[in-house]
Copies of this chain bind each other. A is one copy, B any other.
Amino acid sequence: MVITQKIEHFNSPLYLESGRILESYDVAYETYGELNSDKSNIIVVFHALTGSQHAAGRYDGDVKTGWWDPLIGDGKVIDTNKFFIICANILGGCNGTTGPMSINPSTKEPYRLKFPVITISDMLRAQQNLFARLGFTTAHAVIGGSLGAMQALCCSIEYPDFAKRIICLAGTYATSPWAISFNKIAMDGIINDPQFEKGQYEKDAFKEDGLLGLALGRMAGHISFLSPYSMRHKFDRNYVDTDGLYELFGRFQTERYLEYNSYSFSKRFDPLSYLYIIKAMNIFDAARNYESLKDSFSSIKAKMYLIAFKGDLLFLPDEMEFMRDTLYELGRKDMTEYICVESDYGHDAFLVEYEKFDFYIKKALE
């Protein structure tokens, strides 16, 4: 499946939850499969923190596939023979949708730290505007994991008529102080790194070496995506080769994993974008503009599929259970499915252990 990127430009203002306005903005996206004549086969996929609109397939000449390629494609669980799938880069991102390094039309300079604080609701609003532009008023299903699950949940509350099925994986109703703490390492790492230059860095400043503060924050992220159990299974106390300064110290396999994933990441992901996205994650609370979560959930009409992972230490299964119980309290037992997948992989399970949950998604889409 060879994929091309698409982009829509919006010249009308986007009103943000903070009260601020983006005068104009872009939304970058990809689609897989064919839209049917009555537009009844649309599945919206929301990506996670550092994912992108490239959810499946490969770009021409590229060997790497999209981040959920094992699930999306010809004959797969999210079957491109049946469904038309769309995935858009989130607002604040750095893959084509407007973010802090985009040009502010008023100043003709990048926004940088003048970019407004954005929320999950804002991300969703930008995407809803994309769907409207494309003529999509309803979806067969929306689905997302982690930050994507926050968008899916938000969609069920704020656009109750949009989707018939909402599938949330490894999500929560409000970001916990535990998750906020892991993000804190990235936030302070980036802001206080002298090379960040208070956001005034050159556009390609980190292509070669990456920003150390972002790499350290990403290490914290990767720890939170795993768990003591998954690390024991994956790495145990195995040593690997040593080199350079590390010669003095030796190096463990788990250290190499963190290095490999974090230093490469800091070369390819924009630190301002990371800052704005983790802030959006931190302030996410589905009950924020309501009396209570029950009040917030009272607008939901879709069938809700909540898929938690037993070993998820970032968004604990008990957070999903609280969502389930709140839906039950609202008398929505027949419209709520909660599954806790047996896994000790940690939060990342939704990107790894497909065989443990893909049939739930298949069933949900039927």
A281-311: CB near B (< 8 Å → 1, else 0) gives 0110100000000000000000000000000
Query: CB of A193 within 8 A of chain B?
Result: yes
Could you tell me if A175 and B219 are in contact, using CB atoms closer than 8 angstroms? no
Q: Is the CB of B248 within 8 A of A113?
A: yes
How far does the alpha carbon of A161 sit from the alpha carbon of B222 in the complex, in Å? 44
Complex CA–CA separation, A182 to B185 (angstroms): 11
Is A228 in the interface zone, CB < 8 Å from B?
Answer: yes
A189: min CB distance to chain B, Å: 5
- From B181, B198, B213, A255 is in contact (CB under 8 Å) with B181
Does A194 interact with chain B (Cβ within 8 Å)? Answer: yes
Inter-chain contacts of A187 with B (CB < 8 A): 249, 255
A189: contacting residue among B178, B216, B248, CB under 8 A: B216
Residues in B whose Cβ lies below 8 Å from that of A250: 117, 279, 283
Q: Are B177 and A254 in contact (CB under 8 A)?
A: yes
List residues of chain B with CB within 8 A of the CB of A175. 237
CB of A361 closer than 8 Å to a CB of B:
no
On whether the beta carbons of A228 and B283 are closer than 8 Å, the reply is no
- How far apart sit A237 and B179, CA to CA, in the bound complex (Å)? 11
A253 close to chain B: CB less than 8 A: yes
**Majority SS at the chain A contact face:** helix
* Contacting residue for A194 out of B194, B235, B283, CB 8 A: B194
Copies per complex of this chain: 2
Q: Report yes or no: A188 in contact with B176, Cβ–Cβ below 8 A.
A: no
Which residues of the other chain, B, contact A176 by a CB distance below 8 angstroms?
228, 231-232, 237
Q: Does chain B have a CB within 8 A of A316? A: yes
Nearest residue, chain B, Cβ from A254: B177
Asked if A17 lies at the interface with its beta carbon under 8 angstroms from chain B, I say no
Across the interface, name the chain B residue whose C-beta is closest to A212.
B192
Q: How far is the CA of A164 from the CA of B248 in the complex (A)?
A: 37
Interface residues of A in 185-204 (CB under 8 A from B): 185, 187-189, 191-194, 198
Distance (whole angstroms) from the CB of A318 to the closest CB of chain B:
9
A220: Cβ under 8 A from any B Cβ: yes
Q: A219-B185, A219-B188 are in contact. Are A177 and B236 (CB under 8 A)?
A: yes
How far does the Cβ of A104 sit from chain B's closest Cβ, in whole Å?
A: 15
Task: Judge whether B282 and A252 touch: CB under 8 Å.
Answer: yes
Determine if A228 and B178 form an interchain contact, defined as CB atoms under 8 angstroms apart. yes
For the complex, is A3 an interface residue (Cβ under 8 Å from B)? no
Q: Is the CB of B237 within 8 A of A184?
A: no
- The answer to whether A316 and B184 touch (CB under 8 A), given A237-B175, A245-B191, A283-B250, is no
Q: How far is the CB of A153 from chain B (nearest CB, A)?
A: 16
Q: Which residues of B contact A316 (CB under 8 A)?
A: 228
Interface string of A255-272 (1 = CB under 8 A from B): 100110000000000000
Contact B215 A181 (CB under 8 A): no
A223 at the interface (CB under 8 A from B): yes
For residue A227, CB closer than 8 A to chain B, the reply is yes
Q: Which residue of B lies closest to A113 (CB)?
A: B248
Q: How far is the CA of A194 from the CA of B211 in the complex (A)?
A: 12
Give 7 A-B pairs besides A178-B228, A181-B222 with Cβ atoms closer than 8 angstroms: A113-B245, A113-B248, A181-B255, A184-B258, A187-B249, A216-B216, A250-B279
Which 4 residue pairs are nearest across A and B when measured between Cβ atoms? A177-B254, A178-B228, A177-B231, A177-B235
